[in-house]
Amino acid sequence: EAGVAQSPRYKIIEKRQSVAFWCNPISGHATLYWYQQILGQGPKLLIQFQNNGVVDDSQLPKDRFSAERLKGVDSTLKIQPAKLEDSAVYLCASSRRGQVLAKNIQYFGAGTRLSVL
Amino acid sequence: GQNIDQPTEMTATEGAIVQINCTYQTSGFNGLFWYQQHAGEAPTFLSYNVLDGLEEKGRFSSFLSRSKGYSYLLLKELQMKDSASYLCAVRCYNQGGKLIFGQGTELSVKP
């Protein structure tokens, strides 16, 4: 089966500009996650969707970050305006069901590497 | 709060065995995952432990002790392609079941 698709792979912008990332999860996966991975650190969850509803966005900086998953399939993550500290890899992951169930492996995309100058 | 600790870097020799440790302090533990991440690539799932004991899968094994808040990933017969970052992640049911990742251990395998 096809994996999690993300685009673009790389993006370079100047601070205060806006940027959007796109994710297409594995077919049939109800749950979609966006993570931020700063160099040398583990991924940090930004937002989790179950179908097209938000389950957890407690660590999303809502003054500048937004995300949507309108039809319960593809998702976009937007940053507006970007700051220097937003430079990171943005990973999208999907799983069959919500996290509270056993195992429920998350499958990751290759990510979008964002550099804010 | 939730805290997960792993060594930052490790070096091992091709053909040898290496053990990567992970300690955690969390509430509502509901499973521990190990992922492998090559530079510039997606994290890929390696193993899952929810009960105490050893899970073996080919050259990779993972161990869990819930009472000690401790896990390790054991890699046998190391190959050059095993050079990667290894991420330990804990799932907690009182955090909505989300995964909390450690910083990752960068493993370098040398000839």
Collect all residues of chain B within an 8 Å Cβ-Cβ radius of residue A98: 97
The predicted structure's pLDDT at residue A18: 97
Q: What is the pLDDT of residue B27?
A: 82
Residue-level pLDDT at B94? 73
Closest to B97 (Cβ–Cβ): which among A41, A42, A99? A99
**pLDDT at residue number A99:** 54
Do residue B48 and residue A103 have CB atoms under 8 angstroms apart?
Answer: yes
Assess contact for A93 and A32: CB atoms under 8 A: yes
Distance from CA of A71 to the nearest CA of B (A): 23
d(CA B18, CA B32): 19
Per-residue pLDDT at A80: 97
B-chain CB neighbours of A56 within 8 Å are: 96, 98
DSSP state of A3: -
H/E run at residue A51:
none
Residue with the larger pLDDT of the pair A71 and A82: A82
pLDDT of residue A52: 86
Which one of A42, A56, A102 has the shortest CB-CB distance to B87?
A: A42
User: Cβ B98–A99 below 8 Å, yes or no?
Assistant: yes
Q: Rounded CA gap, B105 and A41, in Å?
A: 10
State residue B93's pLDDT score: 79
* Average confidence (pLDDT) over A3-25: 97
Q: How many CB pairs lie under 8 A apart between chains A and B?
A: 59
CA–CA separation, B107 vs B5, rounded Å? 15
Per-residue pLDDT tens digits for B79-109: 999 999 999 999 987 766 788 999 999 999 9
B102 neighbors B36 (Cβ within 8 angstroms): no
The whole-angstrom separation of Cα A25 and Cα A101 is: 19
Distance, in angstroms, between A86 CA and closest chain B CA?
Answer: 17
CA proximity to A102, closest of B93, B45, B28, B26? B93
pLDDT digits over B15-58, tens only?
999 999 999 998 888 899 999 999 989 999 999 999 999 999 99
Q: Is the pLDDT of residue B8 over 70?
A: yes
Confidence of residue A2 (pLDDT cuts 50, 70, 90): confident
- Collapsing DSSP to helix, strand or coil, A86 comes out as helix
| Confidence grade of residue A100 (pLDDT, cut at 50, 70, 90) | low
Q: Which residues of A touch B89 (CB under 8 A)?
A: 42
A40 interaction partners in chain B (CB closer than 8 Å): 103-104
Contacts 24+ apart (CB under 8 A), B18-21: B18/B74, B18/B75, B18/B78, B18/B107, B19/B72, B19/B73, B19/B74, B19/B75, B20/B72, B20/B73, B20/B74, B20/B75, B20/B86, B20/B88, B20/B105, B20/B107, B21/B70, B21/B71, B21/B72
**Model confidence band, residue A70 (pLDDT cutoffs 50, 70, 90):** confident
